[in-house]
Structure 1
Amino acid sequence: MLTFKLAYKNLLGAGLRTWLNVSVLSLAFVLIVFYNAMIDGWNRQSRNDTQNWEIAQGQYWHPQYDKYDIFSIQDAHKPLDESIQALVQDEELVPQLLQQAAIYPQGRMQNVLLRGIPNEQKLLKLPTIQLASSGDPNTAIIGKRMAKTARLSVGDRVLLRWRDKNGTFDAQSFIIADVFSCDVAEADQGQFYIDYRLMQKMMGLAGEASLLVSKTEASRPLPGWEFHSADHLLKDLDQLIHSERISGMIMQMILLMIALLAIFDTQVLSIFRRKKEIGTYMALGLTRKQVVGIFTVEGAMHSLLAAIFGAVYGIPLFMWINTIGINFGSADMGITIAERIYPYYSIQLLVVSVLVVCISSTIVSYIPARKIGRMKPTDLLKGK
């Protein structure tokens, strides 16, 4: 207890030097918390958006389907048996039929991935209800990225060309019923959505599908279909988030080292200038271990004061940012990222950040304080 009291009095007695160290360390603490909270917020929003717009709780794929191999789509389809059709009727599964196609906006050719999806589905946020709102069966919906690339808008007509199961090419004019705003690039760029039953008729693939979007997380076995969980489908996104987190950790370490260097210099200077004070402590009966503890605790208290001071201006700042979000403009980066990201501050993040700062400052304070144990009390009292 005596060690803490002496360390606290010495810390306050240092005046401006203490508060400069506390300010720098608190800034490092606030930036570390903010950056990690932004990454966590991006991760949560991206996962939620991808599940809401594209994958739900998982997908069943045709064995030949590979989302990274465009040539696998042509033959990746099969009929739905009665058990699967019952699940579709119960809205547990949403079937999709995929095929390559091409559109001709303003006479230009553009390859697209043609997606047939039931217009009555409610599992995904796609506004498929618009496919049946106009009364014209040849309607389509596209995302804002797709609309920008093809220079299409609501009400425009565009020629769609496809090849059916027999390899015969056919074409039909489609009207754009809706242009939706979506933060998931894979559900937007290059995607052309039409009604599921209409596409079956166009392709000559009655009752067939390429993949099934699942409403439930549990993977029930469906013969002839491969289940891919949401975690598996979000693996690329998780790797991207992980790489961003690692690159951020490098900058955080540099910032933290700058703050810790200030504490280290302060401790070295204190030991050099306070030799008589150290000798007096020893003459009064304090052991070398206790004196080392006083200087170590002084350094550790910098981190505690920095956490308190950082909370004073950090909490209002974080609350304000959480109300307005962080604007990334159009966020048209080809990855799943919202126009505004809202940081997520978890208890684990705060606890880990405080522990890292406190432990680091304690270690940095202890390193120069060890030299006290090798000093002679008589020389210290003389100021040597």
Structure 2
Amino acid sequence: MLLIRPAIKNILGGGMRTWLNMAVLSFTFVLIVLYNGITDGWVQESRRETIQWETGQGQLWHSDYDRFDIFSIQEAHGVIPEKLQPAIAAHTYTPILVSLGVIYPQGRLQNVMLKGIDPEQSILNIPSKQLKSSGDEIVTLIGKRMAQAAKLKKGDRVMVRWRDRNGTFDAREVLISDVFDTKVASVDEGQLWFNLEDLRKLTSLPDEATYLIRSANGPVVSDVEGWHYKDLKFLLADLDMMLKGERIEMAIIFTVLLSIGLLALFDTQVLSIFRRQKEIGTYIALGMTPRRVAGLFTLEGTSYSILGILFGALWGTPILVWFARAGISMPEMDNMGIAIGNALYPVYEPSSVLLNIFIIVSLSALISYLPARKIAKQNVVYALKGKIS
């Protein structure tokens, strides 16, 4: 308490210097919280959308399937093991059949990936119910990006050519029953979604699939003959690596912003110690040890950061809340292959905010102590004369 009172008095008497430090530190704090919120919001949204639209809670792949090897996809399929039939019947697993094809919209040629999915599935958000067969006509689904690239719309018909298991090419006109909108480009771009049974008939692959998607309630099936289980750590590895790079970028920006705020605080402390030499000598003459005087200046510098955080919370909270509700417009991100929409909504994790506060206060205390530590080593006689040795 003996140090807190004079520290508060000196801060309040600092005038413009106090307000300047508070403004710099509060701006730094709010900007760091906002940037962390943007990154956390991106992480949560990307993972959530990818799980809901593409990966489910895990997948069981045919041993020949490699989603990054386009040349293996045509042969990467097999009969679903009998062990998995109860899970499929209970809709805790849903099979996906993948094949390659070509479409001819307006006479143009465009390579596509044909995917068959069960219309009754509820694991993915893909509107597969639109694929229920209606007579002899084959219906398909496409995403918004695919529709723009092929210049197709709901109700259009397009010629599709494919190759069945015997290597025979065939073609047929299909109906675009719906165009869905998703943030996950990997289930949209260059893809036509079919009723699973329709695609099986077209490719002569009855009861076969390329991979199976697990729901949250589905049992985790260990590898069975010819099939290998892939968990979310594997399926989201590319996304995690991208976000790891973003974390590194965030750390660099965090360091730059914090360095600007702490530099202003360091300059203030150095100038304060230089101008208050007689005050320091008076404190020592009244019985305070040099170390306690150094602690007083350290406390003053730390108080600047605390006041800056409180001031930042006062004016920054309405702004941060507004961004969280209205989002930050990012119109170009929708077409960059990233699972994110045209607006990004920051998420402010309490643990992240508290960690930022702890780092700012701790570094402020350290920066304040560095110029003040000279007081603890100085000669008492020089201090009484108002000189720093």
TM range (shorter): over 0.9
Instruction: Supply the distance in 1 between the matched residues of 2:284 and 2:304 (Cα, whole angstroms).
Output: 24
Q: Choose 134-143 or 28-37, whichever is displaced more.
A: 134-143
Contact 1:29-1:307 within 8 A present in 2 as well:
yes
Q: Choose 349-358 or 248-257, whichever is displaced more.
A: 248-257
Q: SS at the partner of 1:153?
A: coil
Offset, 1:219:
2.1
1:374 corresponds, among 374, 377, 387, to: 377
- Structure 2: tracts of 5 or more residues without a match: none
Query: 1:247-326 maps to which residues of 2 (within 5 A)?
Result: 247-326=249-328
Query: CA-to-partner distance for each residue in 1:182-232, whole Å, 9 max, x for gaps?
Result: 000101111110110011111111000000000137522251211111222
Corresponding position: 1:341 with 2:339: no
Instruction: Supply the distance in 2 between the matched residues of 1:155 and 1:134 (Cα, whole angstroms).
Output: 14
> Residue 222 of structure 2 aligns with which residue?
221
> Residue 60 of structure 1 aligns with which residue?
60
Structure 2 letter corresponding to 1:232:
F
Contact 1:61-1:210 within 8 A present in 2 as well:
yes
Q: Choose 126-135 or 81-90, whichever is displaced more.
A: 126-135
Instruction: Supply the distance in 2 between the matched residues of 1:286 and 1:101 (Cα, whole angstroms).
Output: 85
Query: CA-to-partner distance for each residue in 1:279-299, whole Å, 9 max, x for gaps?
Result: 000001101110000000100
Instruction: Supply the distance in 1 between the matched residues of 2:142 and 2:117 (Cα, whole angstroms).
Output: 13
Q: Choose 81-90 or 163-172, whichever is displaced more.
A: 81-90
Contact 1:46-1:338 within 8 A present in 2 as well:
no
Corresponding position: 1:360 with 2:363: yes
Contact 1:119-1:132 within 8 A present in 2 as well:
yes
Query: CA-to-partner distance for each residue in 1:140-179, whole Å, 9 max, x for gaps?
Result: 1000011111111111111100000000000000111111
Q: SS at the partner of 2:75?
A: coil
Instruction: Supply the distance in 1 between the matched residues of 2:352 and 2:322 (Cα, whole angstroms).
Output: 19
Structure 2 letter corresponding to 1:207:
D
Instruction: Supply the distance in 2 between the matched residues of 1:347 and 1:18 (Cα, whole angstroms).
Output: 28
Offset, 1:135:
5.0
Q: SS at the partner of 1:114?
A: strand
Structure 2 letter corresponding to 1:276:
K
Q: 1:136 to 1:314 in 2, by over 3 A?
A: farther
Contact 1:116-1:197 within 8 A present in 2 as well:
yes
Q: SS at the partner of 1:338?
A: coil
Contact 1:60-1:212 within 8 A present in 2 as well:
yes
Q: Choose 324-333 or 269-278, whichever is displaced more.
A: 324-333
Query: CA-to-partner distance for each residue in 1:285-336, whole Å, 9 max, x for gaps?
Result: 1011100000001001111101111110121111111111112125211121
Offset, 1:55:
0.9
* CA-atom RMSD in angstroms: 1.4
Offset, 1:133:
6.9
Corresponding position: 1:131 with 2:131: yes
- Structure 1: tracts of 5 or more residues without a match: none
> Residue 101 of structure 1 aligns with which residue?
101
Q: SS at the partner of 2:273?
A: helix
Corresponding position: 1:77 with 2:77: yes
Contact 1:134-1:177 within 8 A present in 2 as well:
no
Corresponding position: 1:197 with 2:197: yes
Structure 1 letter corresponding to 2:298:
T
Query: 1:227-242 maps to which residues of 2 (within 5 A)?
Result: 227-242=229-244
Contact 1:34-1:343 within 8 A present in 2 as well:
yes
Q: SS at the partner of 2:170?
A: strand
Offset, 1:364:
0.6
Instruction: Supply the distance in 2 between the matched residues of 1:185 and 1:112 (Cα, whole angstroms).
Output: 14
Structure 2 letter corresponding to 1:223:
V
Offset, 1:247:
1.0
2:247 corresponds, among 234, 242, 245, to: 245
Q: 1:15 to 1:128 in 2, by over 3 A?
A: same
Instruction: Supply the distance in 1 between the matched residues of 2:126 and 2:313 (Cα, whole angstroms).
Output: 41
Contact 1:275-1:381 within 8 A present in 2 as well:
no
Instruction: Supply the distance in 2 between the matched residues of 1:187 and 1:135 (Cα, whole angstroms).
Output: 27
> Residue 208 of structure 1 aligns with which residue?
208
Contact 1:146-1:189 within 8 A present in 2 as well:
yes
Q: SS at the partner of 2:335?
A: coil
Contact 2:301-2:365 within 8 A present in 1 as well:
yes
Q: SS at the partner of 2:76?
A: coil
Instruction: Supply the distance in 2 between the matched residues of 1:222 and 1:136 (Cα, whole angstroms).
Output: 38
Equivalent residue pairs, number: 384
Q: SS at the partner of 1:200?
A: helix
> Residue 120 of structure 1 aligns with which residue?
120
Structure 1 letter corresponding to 2:202:
M
Structure 1 letter corresponding to 2:224:
P
Offset, 1:239:
1.0
Query: CA-to-partner distance for each residue in 1:346-369, whole Å, 9 max, x for gaps?
Result: 111011000110011111101100
Q: TM-score, normalised by structure 2?
A: 0.96
Instruction: Supply the distance in 2 between the matched residues of 1:135 and 1:35 (Cα, whole angstroms).
Output: 54
Instruction: Supply the distance in 2 between the matched residues of 1:131 and 1:78 (Cα, whole angstroms).
Output: 23
Q: 1:343 to 1:135 in 2, by over 3 A?
A: farther
